[in-house]
Structure 1
Amino acid sequence: MTQLDTDAVWLKPGQVAERAGVAVSALHYYEQVGLISSRRTSGNRREYRRDVLRVIAFIRTAQRLGVSLEKIKDALDQLPEQAIPGKRDWARISRQWRDELTARIEELTALRDNFSDCIGCGCLSLTSCPYSNPNDILGQHGTGARRLTARMTQSTTRTGTETSLFS
């Protein structure tokens, strides 16, 4: 964990937004929900430490993977508050998410490999459907794509991961 120098580099919101590829309003939102923090100048303007760029990159990548902001916040809350997070800090988060990301990859692979066959929706509109669902029998077992959901649940259960990082 690297300690901050008293002369740490502070950036204006516009500079951070441009460098991170987000809108200034996104910075304000991230700050509002506790994902990032800023300080106020004597003129009451926000400034962000330069290392917030790495945190924003982490947030955006995790969001693209389908991770909820709540889970992202839980992870970020484990980082040191007054020090720049180091390689060990990021590696710890990576280890915690590894099994759940692997389960998510398996779910997406099952979706990719089976989506064109039949998702078991019960619509009966596909004349070439390899799975017959007369009278919407699958609808009696719940909503959604019953067969695909069952396959993904079996895959997830096989890996031993019951909870989802992505809910």
Structure 2
Amino acid sequence: MILIMQIKPLATRGLTIGDISARTGLAQSAIRFYEDEGLVHPTRTASGQRRFERADIRRLSFVRISQNLGFTISEIRSALSTLPQNRTPTKRDWERISARFRRHLDQRIAQMQKLRDTLDGCIGCGCLSLQKCKLYNPDDRAHSRGTGPRYLMGDTPSDVGK
């Protein structure tokens, strides 16, 4: 007796949302949210059930890690949009994204170090509530650049008034 195997199209043989949930640790509602946000693109069966590719496990894991690092959905979507939809991303594909995220993380680390080093003094908000602020921000000049902690947001005293 010869058995003939039929190869089913991806829409009927892909991973279910339950499979993806079990593999990534994400709730099914989160996976549906990420789909709505355009981070994954499952196909649908004739009955409307989602079917995911194995590459979606990596994409969703990347989303989870990126969010833990403080990246927004918009930033993550932008990064994932550079990956191919028709094949599993390669090591080189992920290295490109990693380099891009590394630059953002380096900027955040520098900002956090600056915050740590200046936390007990003027935080650059332009409030003039501390004697030290008058030295860094006379006449509330930092306010001319906008609201918030201007110096911690990247402005410098030399930028103020420009």
Instruction: Quickly say closer, same or farther: Cα 1:66–1:136, change in 2 above 3 A.
Output: farther
What is the alpha-carbon distance in structure 1 between the residues aligned to residue 18 and residue 62 of structure 2? 19
The Cα of 1:140 is off from its aligned counterpart by 4.1
Which residue is equivalent to 1:131? 132
What is the alpha-carbon distance in structure 1 between the residues aligned to residue 69 and residue 96 of structure 2? 18
The Cα of 1:50 is off from its aligned counterpart by 2.3
Q: Once structures 1 and 2 are overlaid, which stretch shifts more, 9-18 or 69-78?
A: 9-18
Name which of 16, 19, 25 aligns with 1:15: 19
Name which of 76, 82, 86 aligns with 2:86: 82
Aligned pairs (5 A) from 1:1-167: 10-121=14-125, 122=127, 124=129, 129=130, 131-133=132-134, 137=140, 140-141=143-144, 142-149=146-153, 152-153=154-155
What is the alpha-carbon distance in structure 2 between the residues aligned to residue 147 and residue 96 of structure 1? 25
The Cα of 1:81 is off from its aligned counterpart by 1.2
Instruction: Quickly say closer, same or farther: Cα 1:123–1:88, change in 2 above 3 A.
Output: same
What TM-score do the two structures reach when normalised by structure 1?
Answer: 0.69
Which residue is equivalent to 2:159? none
What is the alpha-carbon distance in structure 2 between the residues aligned to residue 61 and residue 145 of structure 1? 28
Query: Does the CA contact (< 8 Å) of 1:39 and 1:48 recur in 2?
Result: yes
What TM-score do the two structures reach when normalised by structure 2?
Answer: 0.71
Which 5+ residue runs of structure 2 have no aligned equivalent? 1-6, 157-162
What is the alpha-carbon distance in structure 2 between the residues aligned to residue 78 and residue 135 of structure 1? 46
User: Post-superposition, which runs of at least 4 consecutive aligned residues in structure 1 deviate over 6 A?
Assistant: 5-9
Instruction: Quickly say closer, same or farther: Cα 1:95–1:146, change in 2 above 3 A.
Output: closer
The Cα of 1:62 is off from its aligned counterpart by 1.8
Larger Rg: 2
Which residue is equivalent to 1:158? none
Query: Does the CA contact (< 8 Å) of 1:117 and 1:130 recur in 2?
Result: no
The Cα of 1:147 is off from its aligned counterpart by 3.8
Identity %: 35
What is the alpha-carbon distance in structure 2 between the residues aligned to residue 26 and residue 148 of structure 1? 33
Which residue is equivalent to 1:165? none
Instruction: Quickly say closer, same or farther: Cα 1:144–1:13, change in 2 above 3 A.
Output: same
The Cα of 1:57 is off from its aligned counterpart by 1.4
